[in-house]
Amino acid sequence: MQKLTKAEEEIMQLFWDKGPSLVSALIDEMPEPKPPHSSVSSIVRILEKKGFVDHKTYGKTYEYFPIISKKEYSRFSLSKLVSNYFEGSVNELVSFLVKENDITLSELERIKQELKDKK
């Protein structure tokens, strides 16, 4: 799996939120100022080449849909983050998050209990 650019990730977020969509429907969901249809269409075709989306054809209309789930990409991105910035250590990542976000001991205990409950 490849890392997405910021623009590609924004388009994928729309696919993950909306599901199968036409390019024009994606643009409708974007904030003002709306990007040109050709720009969004180009990004969607790049996403298709990278294996993130596929399409169905209805005459001259293309409906695109995600083939990589948000969870799969999140897992990939987190793995890259841990290996690139925390020497492959999840413990280092958690320690960093605790320190940077001033997480209390009671919050850590709650998280620990939630993890136990999910097992």
Residue in this structure with the two tokens 């990004």, named with its chain if needed? 43
Give the pLDDT confidence score for residue 90 in this predicted structure. Answer: 86
Query: What are the C-alpha distances in Å from 91 to residues 80, 83, 118, 119?
Result: 15, 12, 19, 19
Does the pLDDT of residue 98 top 80, yes or no?
Answer: yes
Ranges of each domain in the chain: 6-66, 88-119
Give the pLDDT confidence score for residue 43 in this predicted structure. Answer: 98
Q: Give the number of other CB atoms < 10 A from CB of residue 14.
A: 19
Tell which phi-psi region holds residue 34, choosing left (phi > 0), alpha (psi between -120 and 50) or beta: beta
Name the residue among 99, 54, 70, 42 with its Cα closest to residue 91.
Answer: 99
Q: Which fold has domain 6-66?
A: Arc Repressor Mutant, subunit A (1.10.10)
pLDDT digits (tens, 9 = 90+) for 25-38: 999 999 999 999 99
* 108 vs 58, more confident: 58
Give the pLDDT confidence score for residue 97 in this predicted structure. Answer: 85
49-77 average pLDDT score: 96
Give the pLDDT confidence score for residue 104 in this predicted structure. Answer: 84
Residue in this structure with the two tokens 């003002």, named with its chain if needed? 32
